[in-house]
Amino acid sequence: MSDIAKFPPRERHSDLAVLLPLSASAPDALGLSRWLASMPGWVLPALTTVLVFWPVYAMAQSTFTTERLLSTLLKWMPLLVTKGFVLNILISFLTMVFGTIAGIFLGLGRVSHSRFVRLVSWLMVQLFRNSPWLVLLFVVMLSLPFEIRIAGTIVPVPDWMKAVFGLSLPVMANIAEIVRGAIRSVPSGQWEAAESLAFSRTQTLWQIILPQCFKRMIPPWMNWYAIMTMATPLVSLLGVTEIITLTRQAMEAEGNHPSLLVPFYGFALIIFFAYCYPIARLTMSLEKRFAVKL
Amino acid sequence: MSDNSPWTADQPIVSIKNVRKSYGEFEVLKGVSFDIMKGDVICIIGPSGSGKSTLIRCINALADIQDGSIKVEGQEVHDAKLDKLALRRKVGMVFQQYNLFPHKTALQNVMMAPLKVLGQQKKDVEMRARALLKKVRLEGKENAYPGELSGGQQQRVAIARSLAMQPDVMLFDEVTAALDPETVKEVLITIKELAADGMTCILVTHEMSFAREVADHIYFTDRGVIVEHGPPSTFFDNAQDPRTKAFLGQIL
């Protein structure tokens, strides 16, 4: 009988140093998407039942019967979606465009050779990542003019456009961190090889380093898109007529009856869920596909 | 720039004088000097940590030096006003870890620098790149990505990539150290052909039989100084310094 067999199984594990999977200790950059994507497909109909159909039934009273509640909701639904949610999506798209472009440059600033640029970028990232989004929104709202003059013509700046700038700030700071992390993850040998081939630093960044980062940046980038999309109702506090503002107005038009509260807000929640859920699923499948093969 | 310097081909193409370099307190190079003539093949050998790699990285300014002078074709490398990019067009380098660009095919890897850095015509560059890949015996692998190639094949792409810049001097930093034994040979053959074509080569290597065969001159470094040097026959068969003898005794 061999000696090894006498030991209980645990003792037989090697005591040599081994590399644990990196994800064991690294903070999860995809928290929201991972959580959303982990939900099974029946969550959406279940949520719809719990947040819309059941309240419509349970909260029905003599003045607002179940049928009347349903027909009221159905009546407002097209407007809430086409005039409200579509604006939320538009805001989220534009915010992502501005936030990404600014974030890439801010992220490059974080790895700049110039101490000053690095310091300024660091300050901006810290400031915009760690400030309450609503505070940033108010600051932008109040500090931007309602119209600007470009070459003699007066261009109005609508509130929702200001909201886009306000939301872009935290998105920019978080994208900057994604960019910095991705640049850092490229082995230093790539820099040296490019340097020895007479590439300038700027050329190295844009032609060699960033193209390699592109894939690994997509999942966390999409994760931030989902987070930011769900934050767009914040702008209703600034008077932008997006879905939540319209929901409130619709309920007022129907006499502000308490029975309307849960079905109407429940509908808004479901619409966001229905929009973000497939994005989260896609994010996680891309994450799996782009995973660095060791 | 080299244009206004009086360097001619009968002067050393690389001239290293009294070079000192330290990382913090630790002095890696303690006054190293030697000259390399055009077309020479020299091998730098020595125990690990003796400063061999650091030395050749100083030649193309990947690492800076604290004291002394390194001249390539008469141009001081560690001059604040130096056009580093101009220097690196003259000095090619191949690394231990190949460092190919993983998002580009073999052909694109070779073509990239001449296209983007030198701004040459795509047609000419492609023709030259294909010829170079053929020269390193990688015909048919033009469209393979680095991940699809073996270590030895990747290293030969790296050599072709460096040659595409038409350098005057090639630096090889332990280029076979990360390779499987069976692929070492194919890389060494490539380097040998290159040397036979008259390319000036500076190699850091642990392949003693290769060094003996290909080198015009061997330098043995230990603890930041050149302990002994000479043509391979004298160096390997008639070493004088006890440190050289001890090292060769361990290796051979």
- Indicate if the pLDDT at residue B139 is higher than 70: yes
The C-alpha of A39 sits at a distance from chain B's nearest C-alpha, in angstroms, of: 34
- Indicate if the pLDDT at residue A142 is higher than 90: no
Are A190 and B88 inside 8 Å of each other by CB?
Answer: no
- Chain B residues lying within 8 Å of A207, measured CB to CB: 112, 116
Phi-psi region of B46 (alpha: psi -120 to 50; beta: other; left: phi over 0): left
- Indicate if the pLDDT at residue A165 is higher than 60: yes
- If we measure between CA atoms, which residue out of B54, B43, B49, B17 comes closest to residue B220? B43
- Indicate if the pLDDT at residue A186 is higher than 70: yes
- Chain A residues lying within 8 Å of B62, measured CB to CB: 192, 195-196
- Please state the φ and ψ torsions of residue B30, each to the nearest 5 degrees: -115, 55
Structure tokens at B46: 């020595």
Residue listed under structure tokens 């500076």: B202
Residue A256 makes CB contacts below 8 A (sequence gap 6+) with none
HSE-up (13 A, CA, CB side) for residue A161: 9
- Residue A5 is given by DSSP the state G
User: Most distant CA pair in chain A: distance in Å?
Assistant: 95
Flag whether residue A212 sits within 8 Å of chain B, measured between CB atoms.
Answer: yes
Average pLDDT over residues A162-184: 92
Domains in chain B (CATH in brackets) are: 2-251 (3.40.50.300)
Give me the sheet containing B91-94, strands edge to edge: B91-94, B169-173, B200-204, B41-45, B217-222, B225-230
Cα B178 from chain centre: 16
Structure tokens at A126: 């810290």
CA distances to A61, B38, B40 from A49, rounded to whole Å, are 19, 83, 82
* pLDDT grade for B116, boundaries at 50, 70 and 90: very high
Name the percent of chain B lying above pLDDT 90. 44
Who has greater pLDDT, B2 or B151?
A: B151
- Indicate if the pLDDT at residue B175 is higher than 50: yes
Lowest mean pLDDT among A24-38, A152-166, A179-193: A24-38
- Indicate if the pLDDT at residue A67 is higher than 80: no
Angle formed by the axes of helices B151-163 and B106-116, to 10°? 20
Task: Supply the pLDDT for residue B5.
Answer: 55
The C-alpha of A194 sits at a distance from chain B's nearest C-alpha, in angstroms, of: 8
Task: Supply the pLDDT for residue B41.
Answer: 93
Mean pLDDT of chain A: 84
Q: CATH assignment of A29-290, given 1.25.40.80, 1.10.3720.10, 2.160.10.10, 3.30.2350.10? A: 1.10.3720.10
Q: Hey, of B62, B101, B108, B125, which one would you mutate to test binding to chain A, going by the most A CBs within 10 A of its CB?
A: B101
- Please state the φ and ψ torsions of residue B230, each to the nearest 5 degrees: 170, 175
Phi-psi region of B61 (alpha: psi -120 to 50; beta: other; left: phi over 0): left
User: Most distant CA pair in chain B: distance in Å?
Assistant: 56
Average pLDDT over residues A227-235: 91
**DSSP string for A93-152:** HHHHHHHHHHHHHHHHHHT-S-HHHHHHHHHHHHHHHHS-HHHHHHHHHHHS-SEEEETT
CA distances to A48, A84, B166 from A10, rounded to whole Å, are 48, 59, 59
- Indicate if the pLDDT at residue B3 is higher than 70: no
Flag whether residue A196 sits within 8 Å of chain B, measured between CB atoms.
Answer: yes
Who has greater pLDDT, A220 or A6?
A: A220
- Residue B29: is it exposed, middle or buried by C-beta count within 10 angstroms (0-12/13-18/19+)? buried
Average pLDDT over residues B71-90: 86
Average pLDDT over residues A274-294: 81
Task: Supply the pLDDT for residue A11.
Answer: 46
The C-alpha of A216 sits at a distance from chain B's nearest C-alpha, in angstroms, of: 13
* pLDDT grade for A170, boundaries at 50, 70 and 90: very high
Strands B67-72 and B75-76: antiparallel
Residue of A nearest to B164 (CA): A197
How far, in Å, CA of A150 to CA of A135, rounded?
A: 28
Average pLDDT over residues B131-154: 92
Structure tokens at B138: 């990688």
- Indicate if the pLDDT at residue A204 is higher than 90: yes
Are B95 and A193 inside 8 Å of each other by CB?
Answer: yes
- Indicate if the pLDDT at residue B28 is higher than 50: yes
Name the percent of chain B lying above pLDDT 70. 97
Average pLDDT over residues B117-130: 93
- Please state the φ and ψ torsions of residue A109, each to the nearest 5 degrees: -60, -30
- Indicate if the pLDDT at residue B125 is higher than 80: yes
Average pLDDT over residues A240-248: 89
Domain residue extents for chain A: 29-290
How far, in Å, CA of A175 to CA of A104, rounded?
A: 7
- Please state the φ and ψ torsions of residue A63, each to the nearest 5 degrees: -75, -40
CA distances to A58, B78, B220 from B48, rounded to whole Å, are 79, 25, 12
Q: Could you tell me the end-to-end alpha-carbon distance of chain A, in angstroms, rounded to an integer?
A: 38
Are A198 and B117 inside 8 Å of each other by CB?
Answer: yes
10 Å Cβ neighbour count for A87?
Answer: 20
* pLDDT grade for A261, boundaries at 50, 70 and 90: confident
**A79-129 pLDDT, tens per residue?**
888 888 999 999 999 999 999 999 999 999 999 889 999 999 999 999 999
| Cβ A171 vs Cβ A95: under 8 Å | yes
Average pLDDT over residues B88-103: 92
Task: Supply the pLDDT for residue A1.
Answer: 44
Task: Supply the pLDDT for residue B157.
Answer: 95
Average pLDDT over residues B42-67: 88
Average pLDDT over residues A235-248: 88
Q: Hey, of A197, A207, A210, A213, which one would you mutate to test binding to chain B, going by the most B CBs within 10 A of its CB?
A: A197
Lowest mean pLDDT among A58-62, A108-112, A114-118, B192-196: A58-62
Task: Supply the pLDDT for residue A147.
Answer: 77
Average pLDDT over residues A133-161: 85
Average pLDDT over residues B228-232: 90
Are A197 and B97 inside 8 Å of each other by CB?
Answer: no
Instruction: Fill in the amino acid letter for A158.
Output: P
- Indicate if the pLDDT at residue A179 is higher than 60: yes
Task: Supply the pLDDT for residue B131.
Answer: 94
The C-alpha of A268 sits at a distance from chain B's nearest C-alpha, in angstroms, of: 43
How far, in Å, CA of A107 to CA of A174, rounded?
A: 9
Name the percent of chain A lying above pLDDT 90. 39
